Copies of this chain bind each other. A is one copy, B any other.
Amino acid sequence: MLYIVGLGLGDEMDITVKGLAAVQSCARVYLEAYTSVLTVPKERLEKLYGRQVLIADREMVESDLNAILDQADIVNVAFLVVGDPYGATTHTDLVLRAKELNIPVTSIHNASIMNAVGCCGLQLYNYGQTISIVFFLDNWRPDSFYDKIRANRAIKLHTLCLLDIKVKEQSIENMARGRKIYEPPRFMTVNQAIEQLLEIEEKRDENVYSKHTIGVGLSRVGASDQKIVAGTLEELLDVDFGEPLHSLVLAGEMHFLEADILRTYAVNVDTFNKYAIVSEH
């Protein structure tokens, strides 16, 4: 059996009771470590599980699925994913390969930012499509998110922005020389995301949002030190959200109950009340 187990968002204790039992039944335990990151050292997982945890990086998952699935028809193998197994990235190739080999697959779900973001008070069914914001480079500043935000805002919906993570990336020089030397992990902050958003608004100039649009910055959702701050994008530029991971929501039109909750997280209640778009029904 291949178990694909969501670890949730906080620390090692956010695994489910069912997930923990599954992991403890496994001969091998892999941790997917390239689309997201643990907020705790993997040794804490190993202590809770009583199992060694093997790191599955992008190279391994993209080139060596058979190693992960080796003998999974006769022993249990766990593939751990931060958040939900099907949160931001589905491990499509792994599931399809297991099915080809007639290896049964069981998914054990958990929270991901895609549903936990509801904690800020904006209701999940009032969100449109989720967008991703990647680190801009000097000559590569992709703005396809702008049209998606416009589509959401045209019908008054909120937009969840997932912020870029760079794990185990090579510099161009090291890649060119075939040196397996990796850069330190980088995580986009709420502040960087807002800078990029405002740069694109300035460039496109189609009035999709502005520095006065109400946003919500979130960091370490689900951890004991999670931070949620609401304010205009301009205000949020100056807020220190601390350690990763960060996420950002652009608020659309709010139901007054949504506004009542979100206001409790406001940097400044006066500007919040001035710029929030609130409906009474």
Contact = CB atoms under 8 A, between A and B. Distances in A.
A13 interface: yes
Contacts of A108: 222
Given A14-B17, A14-B18, A125 B118 contact: no
A16 B8 contact: yes
The number of chain A residues touching the other chain, given as a range, is 35 or more
A111 B114 contact: no
Interface stretch (A67-75, A84-92, A177-185, A199-207): A84-92
A175 interface: no
A115 B112 contact: yes
Nearest to A113: B115
Contacts of A87: 115, 118, 124
A107 interface: yes
Contacts of A221: 109
Given A95-B261, A155-B151, A124 B114 contact: yes
A209 interface: no
A217 interface: no
B21 A13 contact: yes
A26 interface: no
A126 interface: yes
A189 B111 CA distance: 25
Contacts of A266: none
B16 A124 contact: no
5 contacts: A13-B21, A15-B16, A15-B17, A86-B118, A129-B155
Given A14-B109, A107-B222, A109-B115, 13 more contacts: A10-B18, A84-B116, A86-B117, A86-B118, A90-B123, A92-B257, A110-B110, A111-B112, A114-B114, A125-B129, A125-B131, A127-B130, A151-B151
